Structure 1
Amino acid sequence: MTDNPPGLDLTALQAHLGTGVLSAELIEGGRSNLTYRLTDGEHRWVLRRPPLGHVLATAHDMAREYRVLSALADSPVPVPRTVRLTEDPSVIGAPFYLMEFVDGTAHRDSTALAALGPARVRALADHLVDTLVALHAVDPQEVGLADFGRPEGFLARQVQRWGKQLAASRSREVPGIEELAAKLAATLPHSPAPALVHGDYRLDNVLVGPDDRITAVLDWEMSTLGDPLTDLGLLVMYTELAAEFAGVIPGVALAPGFPSGAELIDRYADRSGRDVAAVDWYVAFASFKLAVVLEGIHYRYSQGRTVGAGFDRVGALVPLFVAHGLTALKER
């Protein structure tokens, strides 16, 4: 724990919250919103705030994250309890919220995950899929999220939205990215019934307890109401690319016992009852979305507006995700 880590004025925060002397540390691993461990010596919290510098208009909405976490507090989906939302940027220079600190491991390394053994790795991955199914089974109206998004025309708007996000962050030419966006728009699948979508669902965005059960699903900044298969497509994409991007993106799928992309799809289809025939489109869309996210991060890095290590490698990843998306679409 340190005094005033980048992006956090602890003196101002202490006065605002009325706590004792605060200390904090940046939680490494995130590439978008900044996340800190925070304590006054007696209590432990986690604070989330937008990234420094260049911020897209809707991509880092603290109130949306706070709302969805609060709504899911008593659902079958494990989430941290929310504590406080502060939308006034004058306190620390940006809106932020506090949530409870939840113990658990965020598995990002295949070697550490492999130490569990193939049987436990498989059981954990199965629970990851089952938790996603549970999320998609939540009735938005029952938890007060009926107006959390506009499911009608969701996929078309998503392709358009991420195209606009790309334009807002563009600082260079990325071969093939316009072609990928155009092909996605031209081959939109028919969406199943809408559900609450996480937007970035993968193993390193959950915390896992010593019993290999998920203790909290984190990083809800892209959550909305929409097509649930977008979550599945993203999970499958990360699994398929684990070997190619080992050491750059979380490579947990390389651990012995972790299911293949096809096995993840089969379990999701079996547990949810949804038709997953068009999953290749969703994998391609996930590749496009991540390419845009990484291009935005590359833009902030080029402006000297990132905090933490590893950002120097992000720019080189963007064309690789574009290529994976184009390959996935060829299978349709």
Structure 2
Amino acid sequence: MSEDGTEGERGTEYFERLVDVDRLAEYLEAELGPVEEYEVRRHQEGHSNETLFVTWGDRELVIRRPPPGETAESAHDVLREHHVMDSLQGTEVPLPETILACDDDAVMGSDFYVMARVEGDVLRTGEPERFQNDDARRRIGEELVDTLAEIHLVDYEAVGLEDFGYPPGFTERQVERWSEQLTWAFDVTTEEREVPELYDVMEWLSENVPEDAPSTLVHGDYKLDNVMYGPDDDPEIVAVMDWEMSTLGDPFTDLGWMLSYWWDAKDPDPPQATDTLTKDFMTHEAYPTREELVARYEDATGFTYDREADRFYRTLAVYKLAGLGEMFFRRYLEGNSDDPMYPKMREGVPQLAARARRIIDGEEPL
């Protein structure tokens, strides 16, 4: 039995491109044994790899696979994602149990992996009722930064990830990579409107890459809505998700990315056109401030996060988000997506560029 959360004929067609439920059942039966109850559902959140929820007898499973189409061959490396998660089993990093990985395209038309489903809440638009008190709000922030510290403290050689990336020059390559992504998007989007401020940001980032950063395992997309808090009243992260961008490199790129999504009461309002990507409920006075999160991170890791370099790391984070937005906008203009968020990037990317400029100019301090 299968079920897709998307309404209409197009949703059914897309679901069938994602999974042949009968072929998947054959694979799972061969690997996990026969069951009487079987159901597949598509998870609707996210804009990258596809997530399927599978009921297999009394087990609740999650399958991660690339989106169908050409991009599945060149990006969205789910087996890399599985590799890092599998290597981290048994460490202090909270993760779902990894169960299977498959590189046989005959099963689903792509690589995929299977993990156990974890129960809890992802905080995308606000807190669940059980967390609507001052102690819980404080713990949400503390758990978030403590878990990031655990990732950065992993002995990546001891868990077999010594060849997972190339730390020297990592931060400089980040600037170069995202500048290339933006330039690619501009080839089409400048016919609609230009964002000249991003060229100024690009130049500033290139000239201000920090030196002598530590080298650690890096998650690559660490933020509040990429972790899951367990069902208890006391907030505890039970799973870190979306490891597809993970590598070895500069841990402060992770910290800056997390901080760019964490709003303080003193900040201006988030860009309106990117409201699906940026929420500010953590401006409530009970939540830790960014400065408090950084101090806790330093205590946990022993690393010193230079406050002047913070301008670079948070600017880089917003620049990367602008790059993502501009690529979304190009795909919308070319007719390659019906995601309702993509056309909002016409105004959203200029707003993000203005925010990056404010951080550079010291108008959005840590």
TM over 0.5: yes
1:141 aligns with 2:157: yes
State the secondary structure of the residue aligned to 1:91. Answer: helix
- Residue in structure 1 matched with residue 3 of structure 2 by the alignment: 2
Q: How does 1:315-330 map to 2 (within 5 A)?
A: 315-330=346-361
- Residue in structure 1 matched with residue 178 of structure 2 by the alignment: 162
Structure with the greater alpha carbon radius of gyration:
2
Structure 2: distance between partners of 1:300 and 1:114: 40
Q: How does 1:264-283 map to 2 (within 5 A)?
A: 264-277=293-306, 278-283=309-314
Deviations 1:32-60 (A, max 9, x none): 11112112343211111123446387641
- Residue in structure 2 matched with residue 206 of structure 1 by the alignment: 227
- Residue in structure 2 matched with residue 220 of structure 1 by the alignment: 243
Deviations 1:8-29 (A, max 9, x none): 3322322333365642222232
Contact residue 53 and residue 305 of structure 1 kept, 8 A: no
Structure 1: distance between partners of 2:352 and 2:207: 19
1:12 aligns with 2:29: no
1:234 aligns with 2:260: no
133 and 15 in structure 1: CA distance in 2 versus 1, 3 angstrom threshold: same
Q: Post-superposition shift, 1:178? A: 2.8
50 and 322 in structure 1: CA distance in 2 versus 1, 3 angstrom threshold: farther
- Which structure is higher in RCO with an 8 Å CA cutoff and minimum separation 6? 1
Q: Point out 4+ residue stretches in structure 1 off by more than 6 angstroms.
A: none
**Farther-moved stretch of structure 1 (77-86 vs 218-227):** 77-86
**Farther-moved stretch of structure 1 (194-203 vs 13-22):** 13-22
Structure 2: distance between partners of 1:276 and 1:163: 25
- Residue in structure 1 matched with residue 287 of structure 2 by the alignment: 258
Structure 1: distance between partners of 2:27 and 2:141: 41
94 and 243 in structure 1: CA distance in 2 versus 1, 3 angstrom threshold: farther
Contact residue 111 and residue 255 of structure 1 kept, 8 A: no
Q: Post-superposition shift, 1:318? A: 2.1
Contact residue 151 and residue 194 of structure 1 kept, 8 A: yes
Q: Post-superposition shift, 1:69? A: 0.2
Structure 1: distance between partners of 2:52 and 2:59: 14
Deviations 1:273-301 (A, max 9, x none): 22212111000111111122233333444
Gapped runs of 5+ residues in structure 1?
Answer: none
Contact residue 271 and residue 351 of structure 2 kept, 8 A: no
Output the TM-score relative to the length of structure 2: 0.82
- Residue in structure 2 matched with residue 108 of structure 1 by the alignment: 124
160 and 134 in structure 1: CA distance in 2 versus 1, 3 angstrom threshold: same
Contact residue 325 and residue 342 of structure 2 kept, 8 A: no
Structure 1: distance between partners of 2:26 and 2:344: 38
**Farther-moved stretch of structure 1 (122-131 vs 8-17):** 8-17
Q: Post-superposition shift, 1:255? A: 4.3
Gapped runs of 5+ residues in structure 2?
Answer: 5-11
State the secondary structure of the residue aligned to 2:54. Answer: strand
Structure 2: distance between partners of 1:100 and 1:307: 31
Residue of structure 2 aligned with 1:94, choices 105, 110, 120: 110
Superposition CA RMSD, Å: 2.7
Structure 2: distance between partners of 1:44 and 1:283: 38
State the secondary structure of the residue aligned to 1:44. Answer: strand
Q: Post-superposition shift, 1:265? A: 1.8
Deviations 1:206-241 (A, max 9, x none): 110113111010000111100000011011111137
- Residue in structure 1 matched with residue 85 of structure 2 by the alignment: 69
Structure 1: distance between partners of 2:129 and 2:21: 35
